[in-house]
Structure 1
Amino acid sequence: MTAREKILADVRINQPPLVAAPDIAIWENKPKADASAILETFKTVAGNVGGRVIRVSSISDIKTHLNIPQGARVITTIPQLFDIANDSALFAGATPHELEDVELAILQAEFGVAENSALWVTEKQMGTRVLPFICQHLAFVVNASDIVAGMHQAYLRTQGSDHGFASFIAGPSKTADIEQSLVLGAHGPRSLVIFIIG
């Protein structure tokens, strides 16, 4: 038996006992929060973590809010915005090195969470899993009706779904490790704008 096989065998033997998933019935029976209060909380929290929220009536309205520098590389997974993107139909199989010069990525979020302004994005919406983390600026599109109050509701919303990769993303990249001051765009997108439809 090799050292690797011995280590893996020891890990298998020393597994903790299986524990049942928590009972989520108490979350399902919670009274629903007012939709306008949920949206206000989402906007406030998004602003507090460095993001910006813009309400629009349709996806086509998003174009009027974008200020894209001449020659900047824009990628989106949203077909209605392909006309403002450079090569969105071609990037799905791109390597991270081929995406290093993306100025703006515009992605559809499956849903948002008001309590922390996080947006749930799956690999299907990302096109390629590195995109929302490698671009200079990031924009999300989410329907107002798809914003839930808290992580308990988010947990229920993701239940039963199966993805190769998915992530909650809240605000632009940031760190406060350096001299205890908040730095935006530390190791990922320098800005985040969220377009809420409806």
Structure 2
Amino acid sequence: MSSRQEILEKIQQLRLDQTELPTIPEFKNPINTEEEFKASIEANKGEVISQEKLMSWISESGFQKILNFSQLINLNTTYARIDDAHELDQLQVAIIDGQFGVGENGAIWITNEQVPFRAIPFITEHLVIVLPKNEIVPTMHQAYIKTSSQSYSFGLFIAGPSKTADIEQSLVIGAHGAKSLRVVLV
């Protein structure tokens, strides 16, 4: 008998005691999940704005390349549509929908249903996420329950603009993704 076979047989003969998973207590939900969500977004260096403020910001900024993938708001403007990910070059503003947000940390769940190209939330200079107010859950525990029933090929939580820091803790915004995050609650 080979040593490999001996090892495999010994592993199969092991009888380990089963350990029960710990029960997760039910956490108190905040009184106002929407307000907690807004505070979390702002703490993450993002901004919660109205649809009117979004329109004003876009028109005043003079952006040349804006992609709108949102199904939740009508911006009354025609923006570029793309069919090839290479056309994302120099993307200034991407507007996408979020499936749901998390009050305790400001994270917003995005899947391939909201973005046709995975690179969009990372390659754009400014990211705008449109989120229904009634789709904010209090905690990540509830968020993970919502994601577990979904089928998707790509999913992520976004909780603010890209942030990184060096060993001296010098914070840099936008080094690895969007320089800003604006959330429009509808």
TM-score of the aligned structures, taking structure 2 as reference length: 0.78
For 2:142 and 2:93, locate their aligned partners in 1 and report how far apart those are by CA, in whole Å.
30
Instruction: Answer yes or no: is 1:84 the counterpart of 2:77.
Output: yes
For 2:177 and 2:33, locate their aligned partners in 1 and report how far apart those are by CA, in whole Å.
28
Contact 1:74 1:85 in 2 (8 A): no
Instruction: Answer yes or no: is 1:66 the counterpart of 2:61.
Output: no
What residue number does 1:99 align with? 88
Deviation per residue, 1:55-89 (Å, 9 max, x gap): x4xx677424534543510001124446435223x
For 1:106 and 1:167, locate their aligned partners in 2 and report how far apart those are by CA, in whole Å.
16
Per the TM alignment, residue 25 of structure 1 is displaced from its structure 2 partner at its CA by 7.7
Per the TM alignment, residue 176 of structure 1 is displaced from its structure 2 partner at its CA by 1.4
Aligned CA distance change for structure 1 residues 160 and 172 (closer, same or farther; 3 Å): same
Q: Secondary structure at the match of 1:106?
A: strand
Contact 1:74 1:84 in 2 (8 A): no
Aligned CA distance change for structure 1 residues 61 and 190 (closer, same or farther; 3 Å): closer
Instruction: Answer yes or no: is 1:163 the counterpart of 2:163.
Output: no
Return 5+ residue gaps in structure 2 as ranges: 1-10
Q: Secondary structure at the match of 1:124?
A: coil
Q: Which has the higher helix share?
A: 1
Aligned CA distance change for structure 1 residues 33 and 47 (closer, same or farther; 3 Å): closer
Contact 1:105 1:131 in 2 (8 A): yes
Amino acid corresponding to residue 152 of structure 1 in structure 2: H
Aligned CA distance change for structure 1 residues 99 and 23 (closer, same or farther; 3 Å): farther
RMSD, aligned CA = 2.9
Between Structure 1 and Structure 2, how many residues are aligned? 170
What residue number does 1:43 align with? 38
Greater Rg, structure 1 or structure 2? Answer: 2
For 1:69 and 1:167, locate their aligned partners in 2 and report how far apart those are by CA, in whole Å.
28
What residue number does 1:190 align with? 179
Return 5+ residue gaps in structure 1 as ranges: 1-12
Q: Secondary structure at the match of 1:84?
A: coil
Aligned CA distance change for structure 1 residues 53 and 75 (closer, same or farther; 3 Å): same
Per the TM alignment, residue 117 of structure 1 is displaced from its structure 2 partner at its CA by 0.6
Aligned CA distance change for structure 1 residues 164 and 68 (closer, same or farther; 3 Å): farther
Aligned CA distance change for structure 1 residues 71 and 64 (closer, same or farther; 3 Å): closer
For 2:64 and 2:167, locate their aligned partners in 1 and report how far apart those are by CA, in whole Å.
30
**Percent of aligned pairs with the same amino acid:** 35
